[in-house]
Amino acid sequence: MAPEELVARALKARANAYVPYSKFPVGAALLTADGEVFTGCNVENASYGLTVCAERVAVFSAIARGQRLFKALAVAADTEDYISPCGACRQVLAEFGGDMKVYLADRHGDFRETTVAEMLPAAFSL
C-alpha cells in the first residue's frame, strides 16, 4: 500500500475522534504485514489519564484480531505541521518493531517518513 493511501485512511479515522476536552482530533492507520489496515482515533475521558491515543487504538485493535506483524503506521491530526506519537505510543510501537515505517501527516495529507527506532532510539525492552 502506498504511503499516501495509509495517510488518507488516518485522515478519515481522525473524523471519528472523541475529543470534547482538547478539541485535538487524531487519526491513525496501521498496515499489517499481510496488507490489512486497522484504524484508530483518540478517545478522551473526563478523567484525562484514561484518554487513549489514536496510535494505541489502532495497535490494540490489530492485536485483538490476532495481528502481530506491522509494516507501517500513519498518524494525522488537524494541524498545519506534522504531528508525532507521544512517548507511550512510541514505546507500544517499539514492542512490535523499530524498523516499522511511520508517516507523520498534517491536515492536508502532506507527510514525512520516519521509523519507530528513529523516534525512540533507546526503547525499553526485556
Range 32-64 burial, b when 16+ CB lie within 10 A, else e: beeeebbbbbbbbeeeeeeebbbbbbbbeebee
pLDDT in tens, 18-77: 999 999 999 999 999 999 999 999 999 999 999 999 999 999 999 999 999 999 999 999
CA pseudo-torsion sign 29, 105, 6, 99: negative
Whether residue 126 is predicted with pLDDT greater than 90 in this model: the reply is no
> Residue 55 catalytic?
yes
What's the confidence (pLDDT) of residue 103?
98
Residue 41 annotated as lining a ligand binding site: no
- Please name each of the domains of the chain with its CATH number: 3-119 (3.40.140.10)
What percentage of the chain carries pLDDT values higher than 70? 100
Residue 80 annotated as lining a ligand binding site: no
* Arithmetic mean of pLDDT over the chain: 97
What's the confidence (pLDDT) of residue 111?
98
Residues 6 or more apart from 5 whose CB is under 8 A from it? none
Residue 42 annotated as lining a ligand binding site: yes
pTM: 0.96
Helix (H) or strand (E) holding 119: helix 116-119
Residue 16 annotated as lining a ligand binding site: no
Q: Catalytic residue among 4, 5, 36, 55, which?
A: 55
For residues 116 and 98, give the distance between their C-alpha atoms in angstroms, rounded to a whole number: 5
